[in-house]
Amino acid sequence: MSNEPEIARLAACGVVPVVVIEDVHLAVPLARALLAGGIDVIEVTLRRPAALAALETIAREVPEILSVAGTVVTPAQVTDVKEAGAQAVVSPGFSEAVDDAMRAAGLPWLPGVATASDCMRAVAAGRLTCKFFPAEQAGGTSALKALSGPFPQMKFCPTGGVGLNNLADYLALKQVICVGGSWLVPADAIANRDWARVTQLAKEARERVKALRG
Phi, psi of 176 (to 5 degrees): -100, 120
Cα–Cα distance, 82 to 103 (Å, whole number):
12
**Domains identified in the chain, total number:** 1
| Residue 2: pLDDT over 70 | no
Domain that holds residue 176: 5-206
3 state DSSP class of 52: helix
Tell me how many degrees the CA angle 187-135-78 measures, rounded to the nearest 5.
Answer: 70
Q: Does residue 73 sit within a domain?
A: yes
Please report whether residue 193 resides in a domain. Answer: yes
Report phi then psi at 44, rounded to 5. -95, 115
Instruction: Supply the pTM of this predicted model.
Output: 0.96
Q: Which helix (H) or strand (E) holds 16?
A: strand 15-19
pLDDT at 208 over 70: yes
In this structure, is residue 86 part of a structural domain? Answer: yes
Query: Helices (DSSP H) in the chain: which residue ranges?
Result: 5-13, 27-36, 51-61, 75-84, 96-105, 116-124, 140-147, 167-171, 187-191, 195-213
* pLDDT tens per residue, range 31-40: 999 999 999 9
Active site residue 22: no
For residue 50, tell me if it sits in a domain: yes
What confidence category does residue 152 fall into, taking pLDDT thresholds of 50, 70 and 90? Answer: very high
Candidates 6, 43, 82, 155; catalytic one: 43
Asked, for residue 56, whether it belongs to a domain, the answer is yes
56 is catalytic: no
User: 162 and 179 in contact (C-beta within 8 Å)?
Assistant: yes
In a domain, 212, yes or no: no
Choose the catalytic residue: 6, 56, 82, 131. 131
CATH code at position 154: 3.20.20.70
Crossing angle of helices 51-61/75-84, nearest 10°?
A: 30
Note whether residue 80 is domain-resident.
yes
Burial of 134 (0-12, 13-18, 19+ CB in 10 A): middle
Answer whether residue 213 is part of any domain.
no
Q: Dump pLDDT digits (tens) for 40-64.
A: 999 999 999 999 999 999 999 999 9
